Amino acid sequence: MIDIKDLHKSYQMGKNALHVLKGINFNVKEGEFVSIMGSSGSGKSTLLNIIGILDEADQGTYNLDGVPIKNLNETIASRYRNKFLGFVFQSFNLINYKSALDNVALPLYYQGMGRKERMERSMHYLEKVGLANWAKHLPNELSGGQKQRVAIARALASDPKVLLADEPTGALDTKTSYEVMELLQQINDEGKTVLVVTHESDIAEMTKRIVFLKDGQIEEDNLITQIRASQYV
C-alpha cells in the first residue's frame, strides 16, 4: 500500500539546513495498523505529512497504492488526498461553524457527490462512530472525544485507502483516548490500513506494528501483539 525508499527531507532554517529525514525505507501493506513513535524532532510528523501528500520529499521515492507521488501540482495533490487518504488530527480540525454532519460530508462535497447521497453516507459514518444523535450539533457543543470521533467519521467518509492519524489522542484524557483507539481498532478490523503517529507507548501498543524513529532514521520496526483497547474501557 505504502512503499517508501530512501526518503530524505530537510528544511531551510535561515542559513542552516535542518536535515529531518535521513533515508527512510518503509513499507506498509494493506490492512496493517502501524504506529510511528519517536521523541519530538525525530521526524515522525514530517514523515506523516509526506505520506499524507501535504509535503514533498527532497529525495527518494514514494508510491501510494502503486501510484508514484512525485512533483504533483496542487490540483492533482488535492484529488489524491481526497481519494486515497483520510486525516485525523490532534486538534480535530473540524470547521466550527458547520454541524457534525456537514463536517463529515465535506470530503464528499469535494468529490462532487450529490447532496442527498452525501448526507446519507455521512449519516452512516456518524452512526458508525456512535454520534448519530449529535449530527446537527456544532463542534463546540461536543466533547473532545466526540469531536475526534466526528473527525474519524470525516476521514472515513470518502472511503480512503489509508487512514492517517497525527497524535489522535494527544488532546484527550486516558479514558477517551482508549475509546478513540477502540474505534480505530474496529476500523482496522474491517480491513482499513491505519497509520498513527504518537509518542505514548500505551497507545502504540494498541496497534499491530511499532516503528521507532530517531534523528530522522528508523531505529526499530517491530510487529507486536495488539492490546485491545476494549480491555480498558
Partner 1 sequence: MFSIERWQEIFEGLSKNKLRSVLTGVSVASGIFILVILLGAGNGIQNGIQNQFEKDAANQITVWPGTTQEEYKGLGIGRNIQFRNADYELINRLLEDYIEYKSAIYSVWSGNIVYKEETGTYRVDGVHPDYQFIENASIASGRFINHPDILNYEKTVVIGQKVANDLFKNNEDPLGKNINISGTIYKVIGVFTDPGGEREESRVFIPISTAQRTYSAGDKIRSMAFTLNKKAKFDDAVADSHEFSQQLENLLKPRHTIAPTDQGALHVNNSLEQAKNIYIITGGVQAFFWFVGICTIIAGVVGVGNIMLIIVKERTKEIGIRKALGASPFSIVSMVLQEAVFITVIAGFSGLIFGLILWELIGPSVEADFFTRPEVDFNVAVITLIILVVAGAFAGFIPAYRAAKIRPIIALRGD
Give the footprint of partner 1 on this chain (CB under 8 A).
Answer: 49, 52, 54-55, 74-75, 78-79, 81-83, 87, 89-91, 93-95, 97-98, 106-107, 109-111, 115, 154, 158
Least Å distance between CB 63 and partner 1?
A: 20
User: Between 84 and 178, whose beta carbon lies closer to partner 1?
Assistant: 84
DSSP H/E element including 227 = none
Q: Output the nine-digit C-alpha cell for 81.
A: 488526498
User: Between 167 and 179, whose beta carbon lies closer to partner 1?
Assistant: 167
Residues shown for the chain: 233
Beta pairing partners, 37: 212
* Cα 41 to Cα 233: distance, rounded to the nearest angstrom: 32
Q: Output the nine-digit C-alpha cell for 91.
A: 486538534
SS3 content of the chain, % helix, strand, coil (to 5): 40, 30, 35
- 95 Cβ partners below 8 Å, 6+ apart? 102, 103, 106, 139
Least Å distance between CB 95 and partner 1?
A: 6
User: Between 114 and 130, whose beta carbon lies closer to partner 1?
Assistant: 114
**Alpha carbon 164 to chain centroid distance?**
2
Least Å distance between CB 223 and partner 1?
A: 30
Q: Output the nine-digit C-alpha cell for 192.
A: 482499513
User: Between 88 and 210, whose beta carbon lies closer to partner 1?
Assistant: 88
Least Å distance between CB 169 and partner 1?
A: 16
User: Between 81 and 192, whose beta carbon lies closer to partner 1?
Assistant: 81
* Cα 103 to Cα 106: distance, rounded to the nearest angstrom: 5
Least Å distance between CB 110 and partner 1?
A: 4
